[in-house]
A and B are shown apart, each in its own frame.
Chain A
């Protein structure tokens, strides 16, 4: 063959990203225990907490029963868990050697990040929606338009969380390290998003008396958590147009538009950040 027969590769970053994403989906489906872990545990929690907390979580004070209140929290937990599991796989990819071939391929790094994030997001959203449909048969009623809107919202949340996971996992060389991060950062982030209990009031209305310093502290910690806005957006969509919806803590947060904007910005910023860190070589590649 002569020199001229060498055709330089014409790279297609979108196609490469899709292939990486498709790989995530195939791997997920071939590892049954991941399917069970990601969706089984949140459902179990939902049922157990729902039944156990129902008396403690006072319907008189909040206007909501816990099983119902916790549906959206569970969806968030499913999305978080699946997103996290999807990004842990970047550590495994590096350890098993798969990643090195991707790193020397002529694709831009954003294409690699997009593949990973898309894969994680699709898995997270699919499972979140599955649970939503299950829950809508048991405890809440929800229309098709709302379901579509939730689908869109979960995609945005999924992109934000998988990208966040990617940023955290990129430099790590062990999954144990990631578990520490998960317990110290990601679980509290979820707990303090309003998923489990509403944002405490600092308005000091007549029924609950003057807010304590603890209330102020929790209120602002939760207000600083980007996931709080995602959580609020999700709840607003679930009870779209219902001014008397059982949404404790609703008055503590900004309008739906602001919540949605924060959620969108979070996803965008996290994705850009993920693309940026992926440009740096991680130490694990050099061993």
Chain B
């Protein structure tokens, strides 16, 4: 077994009826890294999560998880991975401690060992003082901590999380990330998560961008941003098509129309702001200059915005 690779995915496809959710996905995730699957809703992240967490049977392709074949050795994989679901998996009628002890029982811990481990987990996640609270009464942030305690109860080598920040306020989000970074450092746990939040993806070692079931980019956040080029100019105006053509003719640079704006990637953004505003004072309503973001990467790779009309952050 190759100990440096935690997950290797080859030609993985998944269909719901006629709809293709995953389209010949191939990639590999290193042991000990924080890996993010980034994509808009409907990009195929949740399908991928369900397949990797063994919740849903695999249809096509092959996946090796921690050296085990996903199709053949589900049980061995289940023993070594921790899973944190997007929708809560807590029993709301049970207390925090009862929930964690129950999870311990599912993973072969019982009696004193389970109690010790539960106390340890509650201590690590700062919920020891809430041990006897019924989960129904907890805030979203605290519930997510209980979920994390459940997912890590058996000291898995790999932790899978589906949209772990959903519904968390910024404070709860950053304490969750502190915990994830800590277990990665101290226990060398490989952390794989899905998110539709661009700023969250920045915290990863590597990002895979998924769009309609396809892998569109895979790299570290900074290298991904470098592929876009130096700066991004965003222009708004009334006749963008005409403007794009004029810019092309006059300066021989490509301007791309994305939704209601014109985007230009360039290495020397600042000089272009002056040049363009001087050349087309009438056509340009607004022009802005920015360092590339992951959204720019997404646009560059897919030709459309990360958030489609009607989506909301």
Chain A residues with a Cβ under 8 A of chain B:
1-3, 5-12, 15-16, 18-20, 23, 26-27, 30-31, 96-107, 281, 285-286
The answer on a CB contact under 8 Å between B105 and A97 is: no
What residue of chain A has the Cβ atom nearest to residue B156's Cβ? A6
Chain B residues touching A, majority SS: loop
Sample (28) of A-B pairs whose CB atoms are under 8 Å apart: A1-B186, A2-B188, A6-B156, A6-B157, A7-B155, A8-B76, A8-B79, A8-B80, A11-B108, A12-B105, A15-B110, A16-B105, A18-B105, A20-B102, A26-B93, A96-B88, A96-B91, A97-B88, A100-B85, A101-B150, A104-B53, A104-B78, A106-B79, A107-B106, A281-B55, A281-B56, A281-B57, A286-B50
Asked if B3 is an interface residue, CB under 8 A from chain A, the answer is yes
B8 to chain A, nearest CB (A): 18
Q: Tell me, in angstroms, the Cα distance from A129 to B102 when the chains sit together.
A: 28
* Interface size class of chain B, counting residues whose CB lies under 8 Å from the partner chain: 35 or more
The answer on a CB contact under 8 Å between A103 and B154 is: no
The answer on a CB contact under 8 Å between A3 and B188 is: yes
What residue of chain B has the Cβ atom nearest to residue A2's Cβ? B188
Q: Using Cβ atoms and an 8 Å threshold, which residues of chain A touch B130?
A: none
Q: Tell me, in angstroms, the Cα distance from A96 to B85 when the chains sit together.
A: 12
The answer on a CB contact under 8 Å between B54 and A285 is: no
The answer on a CB contact under 8 Å between B92 and A96 is: yes
Query: Quick one: which of A6, A8, A100, A101 has the most chain B CB within 10 A?
Result: A101
Q: Using Cβ atoms and an 8 Å threshold, which residues of chain B touch A2?
A: 188
The answer on a CB contact under 8 Å between A19 and B106 is: yes
What residue of chain B has the Cβ atom nearest to residue A6's Cβ? B157
Q: Tell me, in angstroms, the Cα distance from A162 to B187 when the chains sit together.
A: 43
The answer on a CB contact under 8 Å between B85 and A97 is: yes
B285 to chain A, nearest CB (A): 44
A90 to chain B, nearest CB (A): 13
Q: Tell me, in angstroms, the Cα distance from A98 to B90 when the chains sit together.
A: 6
Partner of B105, one of A15, A26, A100, A103: A15
The answer on a CB contact under 8 Å between B85 and A26 is: no
The answer on a CB contact under 8 Å between A12 and B108 is: yes
Asked if B87 is an interface residue, CB under 8 A from chain A, the answer is yes
Contact with A along B56-90 (1 / 0, CB 8 A): 11000000000000000001101111010101111
Q: Tell me, in angstroms, the Cα distance from A244 to B60 when the chains sit together.
A: 68
What residue of chain B has the Cβ atom nearest to residue A15's Cβ? B110
Q: Using Cβ atoms and an 8 Å threshold, which residues of chain B touch A99?
A: 89
Asked if B94 is an interface residue, CB under 8 A from chain A, the answer is yes
The answer on a CB contact under 8 Å between B79 and A101 is: no
Q: Tell me, in angstroms, the Cα distance from A102 to B105 when the chains sit together.
A: 11
Q: Tell me, in angstroms, the Cα distance from A8 to B79 when the chains sit together.
A: 6
Q: Using Cβ atoms and an 8 Å threshold, which residues of chain A touch B3?
A: 3
Other 13 A-B pairs with CB < 8 A, given A9-B80, A104-B78? A1-B188, A5-B155, A5-B187, A6-B155, A12-B110, A23-B98, A27-B91, A96-B91, A98-B89, A98-B90, A100-B85, A101-B150, A286-B56
A210 to chain B, nearest CB (A): 58
Asked if B103 is an interface residue, CB under 8 A from chain A, the answer is yes
Partner of A11, one of B79, B157, B187: B79
Q: Tell me, in angstroms, the Cα distance from A30 to B54 when the chains sit together.
A: 32
Query: Quick one: which of B76, B78, B81, B186 has the most chain A CB within 10 A?
Result: B78
What residue of chain B has the Cβ atom nearest to residue A108's Cβ? B75
B104 to chain A, nearest CB (A): 8
Q: Using Cβ atoms and an 8 Å threshold, which residues of chain B touch A8?
A: 76, 79-80
A104 to chain B, nearest CB (A): 5
B187 to chain A, nearest CB (A): 5
Q: Using Cβ atoms and an 8 Å threshold, which residues of chain A touch B280?
A: none
Q: Using Cβ atoms and an 8 Å threshold, which residues of chain B touch A98?
A: 89-91
Asked if B107 is an interface residue, CB under 8 A from chain A, the answer is yes
Q: Using Cβ atoms and an 8 Å threshold, which residues of chain A touch B92?
A: 96
